[in-house]
Every structure is written in C-alpha cells, then in structure tokens.
A = this chain, B = another copy of it.
Amino acid sequence: MARERAVVSSAASVIGWDQETYLPDAGHAWRADQLAWLSEKAHELGTSSAWGDALAEAEAAASAPALLAAMRRDFDRATKLPGELVAREAQASSLAKQAWAEARKKSDFPSFAPHLQTLLDIANEKADRWGYEVEAYDALLDTYERGATASGIATLFDTLRPRLRDLAAAAVEKSAARDAKLPPGPYPIEAQQAFNAKVAAALGFDFNAGRIDTTAHPFCTTLGPRDVRLTTRYDEDDFTSSLFGVMHEAGHGLYEQGLPGPEFGLPSGEAASLGIHESQSRLWENHIGRSWAFWEKWLPVAAEHFPQLAEVELADFIAAVHRAEFSYIRVEADEATYDLHILLRFGLERRLVSGELAVKDVPSAWNESFEDLFGMLPPDDTRGCLQDIHWSMGGLGYFPTYTLGNLNAAQLFAAATADESIAAGVAKGEYAALLAWLRKHVHSKGAVMTPAEIVKEATGKDPSPEAHLAHLTRRYL
C-alpha cells in the first residue's frame, strides 16, 4: 500500500517536473487537473481505512516502533485533510505557479495577489484541520521541519540577527575594498554544461539514475527511487552561477540517491526534513564548492573549458568566489548575506498566516523590512516580493528551513572533517570518504528520527548556530 502511494505520488512528481521544464504555455490548465487528480489519489491511498487498519495491526505487534510512530504521525496528519482539499490545493498551486511566473516577469504583484490569497486561505484551512497549540504557522512549519515551532525559530533568528548583520556588513566592506571579479564572459552554455557534469560526477552524483535540465528556478525532484532530476539555469557572463547551482542541487540529489531505495514511500526511505535536505545542498555548494581546496584541483580543469581563466591566480579567483555584497535576490546571495533574506521572509510569512499582514500589503512590508536589513530598497517587485516560487506553491512555512540547513551544514561538515582521513580527502579534492560519512550518518537514516535527533547523533551536539557563525567568520573576516 505504501508502495502504491509512492507510485502515484512519484507520478505526480514526473508531471510536476515536466510542468517546470517543458510544458508549453497553453498546457497549464489541463496540467493543473492532472496534478489535482494524482494528488487526491495519493492522498486517498495514504488515508484509506485499509491502511489505517494495517497500521493499527502492526502497532499492536509492536515491531519497529520508531518507524511505526513516524507512519502513524504521517497517517494521522493526512487523514485530517479531506481529499477535496488536497486536490484543490494541487490545482490552485499549479495555476498560481503560472500566474507567479507571469507576474514576476512584469513586476505585477496585483495579478498574483488573488492566487496568494487562495493559497493562504488553504494553508490556514490545513493548519486548522491539523490543529496547533500556539499559532497556525506551527502546523505549517511542521510539514517541512518536524518538531520546529514558530516561537523557537523566532528566538533563534533573534539571536542570529545582530551577529549576522554585523558579520555581513564587515564582509561586504572588506569585499568591496578588494573588488575581486571573474574574467569577463562569454562562458558558453555548452562548456558550462560539460564542466558542471564533470563536477557533479566527481561529487558522486549518479547520472545513470538522474539528469540535469534547465529551468527558470533551479530545483531537485525525485521521480522514482532511481530517478533524481536536477535543474539549473545559465548566465553566460558568470559560469559559477550555474556551477554552484548544480553543486547545490547535486547535494540534494546525493541525499535522495543515498536514501534506502527499497524503503521508497516509507518514512525510512524519505528525507528527514527540509532543514536536513538543505544541509546537504549547502554542504556541497559552500563548504566544498567555495573552498580553496576545491579550486586548487578544479580551477585548471575549468580553464580547459573556459580559456579566459588560464591566467587567473587562485587567490584572485577565490576572492571573487568569496565576494560578499548586499543584493536583492536570495538565490544569488552570497553566504555572508544569505540568511538575512531568510529572516525577512520568515517574519513576513508568519504575519501573513496570523492575519496580521494582508496580502495586498506584502510589497510594502517586504520593502520596509528589506530596507531595515539591507539598507536599500528593491527597485521593483520582480526583485522584491515576487522573486521566489515558494508562496506560489503554497509553501508557507518553508523558508526558515534554508537557514536551518545552513546551520546543520556547518555542524555536520565540522563533525565529518574532525575525522582526519575525511579531512585529508577533502583537502585533496576527493570526496568518497565524506560522502560515505554522510551516507552513514544522514542519508541512510531516512525520516524515522527527528531532524534534531539526526544532527545530535551525527555530531554529538544539539543543533546550534555556532559552527555556521564560526565558518562565516573564518571565511569572510
């Protein structure tokens, strides 16, 4: 039964992937119907009384209690939502995604607002049905990060805010003084594709069970236990944009490829949370991809693909890669300023869900908060509140997991490289031992333990921001 549900929900993933990559414009309306139907069926399968009975029977037999508890939790949450609501959300978000893409092009928030309102109403309806102790946002957050609460995140972010602001300001100032830049383009797209594929394979991404395509908004999705799709986008003036994108998505992909395949569709074969997922992408993107050791090995290879790099000194190249500046777009932000973008979004969406902030006021609230954190105003909503796809997917409660991912990445990487043989491999640009450590301590765990338990068991410490702040300080100051 778990297998059948996995077959159906992965079929929905195939169709969702095609929507992002290849669907012609006129095909969106019908596509929304296809997604709605499949989402409702997957939901029906996961909430059927047959499933409930089988679960109760297994619980009575009391084998594998942790796995059963995770399944019970998923089942109880799913059964609280009627199939009609699941289908309605799938359809609304499929249409909202298209509306968002159009609105973003034209910086036209009002054309997207009714879609956001619909999805916000659906999110609140879901939260009400799931139930919560303190605020509706908790119920939404729990979908992405089991055990996390809005007040817990708010406390963490309040601690981080002053330290991150100071760190970012100092990094930006230092970087501006040096003003390091990559040699000018063009970096032809085909050469970028060839180089990126080499790097992804070197990290351990299995192209026999995955591929890379092109989309407006990069992502990673799993269409079956041996079918993991990464996407990226290309900037002919800067090859590192697609490269770091691919390393990021490959980090997600390595996690998916490392989950126990035969358990696909069960909590034991699923990612633990978005905060753990993001720790894997950030680890490979930032702790590996933006490191000296990585570029010692890969800069000469890059120069074979991009002749303009032939004369570049490693120190100058690294300075360009570590450039820090305040910018409008989250996905293009450097490590030093990235988390400020998340603090902003968490604040806004928590107020949206509570009703304190009205949809129509999102652009002005965004700009006010942005000016407060970054000291500048977005020139338009395209570079402001319309830049991210998440709300158009109904993903309220999703954003804070990015910063949790950054914190986890630093803590896990520090723990892994405390092992000298792993550190020695990383120093030589060889990643098999690091990947094996992640496979053992993270990937193979599935979603049976909570995210915090996984981090604690892997690193010996409770999750904390210290490793991340230490990493940023070392790298930028």
Interface residue ranges, A against B (CB under 8 Å): 3-4, 7-8, 10-11, 14-15, 17-18, 22-27, 29-31, 33-34, 37-38, 41, 206-211, 213, 223-227, 264
Contacts and interface: CB of A to CB of B under 8 A. Distances in A.
Contact of A37 (B8, B18, B22, B33): B8
23 contacts: A3-B33, A7-B30, A7-B33, A7-B34, A10-B34, A11-B15, A11-B34, A11-B37, A14-B14, A17-B18, A22-B211, A22-B213, A23-B227, A24-B209, A24-B226, A25-B209, A26-B206, A26-B208, A27-B209, A27-B227, A29-B226, A30-B227, A31-B227
B7 A37 contact: yes
Contacts of A206: 26
A407 to B, nearest CB: 33
A257 to B, nearest CB: 10
A17 B34 CA distance: 15
A38 to B, nearest CB: 6
Contacts of A24: 207-211, 226-227
A24 B256 CA distance: 15
Contacts of A27: 209, 223-224, 226-227
A252 to B, nearest CB: 16
A26 B23 CA distance: 24
A18 B223 CA distance: 11
Contacts of A23: 227
Contacts of A41: 41
B226 A26 contact: yes
Contacts of A227: 23-24, 26-27, 30-31
A38 B209 CA distance: 22
Nearest to A23: B227
A102 to B, nearest CB: 14
Contacts of A226: 24, 26-27, 29-30
